[in-house]
């Protein structure tokens, strides 16, 4: 099983998932495609998100991937079921792993979820949580100011604290959640600030870590993990400008990466 793991995202957020995949599965090769040209997906209409996602999937299928990771909460919310039905390889999204981990961690079964407006409106997390345990109380909240702030490089300090504090205030004030799901792949970069605002008693769940774990579970179960020893050669593609992607990737990932070419997606 020496084929690569395919990872798609609307932009750079999925790099937090890629980073965890590289850490937890250091022998596996990744092919990552970020649709930075058309990012963000969050505010787009459903039909457009579905079309763009399929274009990314077709690009990666031509690279002979053995499993597809949809490392974008918005794309997962709108396309996962469809992709699972139609693709001949396993497809893992970021929502179920985050939900399952929260259920494992929570003691009082009051769970908070934050994400983009698209993800929160889709109600994908409450559905995933309550499908497993209908007595779970979910408090979800869109945080539209987080992604632009993270992409502009503001991850900590007084400015970040102010934005995070103001955004999370409704969640912090009136509920008694003991677990908070970061339902957007950008948010782990604000993790320390979010933890500080929410308080130490709230456990923070990062979709990225949990998704990498479930990719490992499914591939182990299906005997798709690479068996030998190798230093993997990852490939990163972007639909946008290579320089911009590289500069963000160099900050977000622990290791320098090659960005092979500017990916051209076929618009049907």
Catalytic annotation present for 143? no
183 burial via Cβ count (<10 Å: 0-12, 13-18, 19+): buried
Which residue is catalytic, options 17, 72, 94, 248?
A: 72
Pull the structure tokens for residue 118: 């698209």
Q: Which of residues 9-28 bind a second copy (CB under 8 A)?
A: 24-27
For the annotated binding site, the residues are: 9-10, 41-42, 73-74, 185-186
Among 47, 62, 88, 227, binds a second copy (CB under 8 A): 227
Catalytic annotation present for 39? no
Which residue is catalytic, options 184, 189, 205, 257?
A: 184
Q: Which of residues 25-44 bind a second copy (CB under 8 A)?
A: 25-27
User: Measured over all CA atoms, what is the biggest interatomic distance in the chain, rounded to whole angstroms?
Assistant: 52
How many angstroms separate the CA atoms of 67 and 151, rounded?
28
Considering only 72-80, 179-187, 206-214, 251-259, which stretch makes contact with a second copy by CB under 8 A?
206-214
Q: In whole angstroms, how far apart are CA 54 and each of 7, 10, 114?
A: 13, 12, 26
Which residue's CB is nearer to a second copy, number 163 or number 219?
219
For the annotated binding site for substrate, the residues are: 9-10, 41-42, 73-74, 185-186
Which residue's CB is nearer to a second copy, number 104 or number 169?
104
Interacting residues of 192 by C-beta distance below 8 A, sequence separation 6+: 156
Pull the structure tokens for residue 141: 């909240």
Q: Which of residues 50-89 bind a second copy (CB under 8 A)?
A: none
Binding residues (CB under 8 A) for a second copy: these are 24-27, 90, 92, 96-97, 100-101, 103-104, 131-135, 209, 212-214, 216-218, 220-221, 225, 227, 229
Catalytic residues: 72, 184
């Amino acid at each position: 099983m020496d084929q690569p793991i395919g990872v798609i995202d609307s932009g750079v957020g999925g790099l937090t998932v890629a980073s965890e995949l590289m850490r937890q599965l250091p022998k596996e090769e990744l092919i990552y495609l970020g649709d930075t040209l058309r990012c963000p997906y969050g505010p787009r209409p459903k039909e457009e998100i579905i079309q763009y996602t399929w274009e990314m999937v077709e690009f990666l299928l031509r690279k002979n991937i053995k499993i597809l990771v949809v490392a974008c909460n918005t794309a997962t919310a709108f396309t996962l079921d469809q992709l699972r039905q139609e693709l001949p390889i396993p497809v893992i999204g970021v929502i179920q792993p985050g939900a399952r981990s929260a259920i494992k961690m929570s003691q009082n079964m009051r769970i908070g979820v934050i994400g983009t407006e698209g993800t929160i409106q889709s109600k994908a997390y409450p559905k995933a949580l309550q499908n497993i345990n209908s007595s779970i109380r979910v408090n979800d909240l869109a945080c539209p100011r987080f992604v632009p702030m993270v992409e502009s490089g503001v991850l900590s300090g007084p400015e970040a604290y102010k934005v995070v504090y103001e955004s999370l205030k409704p969640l912090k004030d009136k509920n008694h959640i003991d677990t908070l799901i970061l339902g957007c792949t950008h948010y782990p970069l604000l993790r320390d600030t979010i933890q500080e605002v929410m308080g130490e008693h709230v456990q923070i769940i990062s979709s990225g870590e949990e998704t990498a774990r479930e990719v490992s579970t499914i591939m182990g179960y299906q005997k798709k993990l690479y068996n030998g020893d190798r230093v993997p050669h990852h490939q990163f593609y972007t639909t946008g400008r290579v320089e911009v992607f590289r500069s963000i990737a160099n900050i977000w990932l622990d290791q320098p990466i090659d960005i092979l070419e500017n990916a051209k997606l076929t618009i049907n």
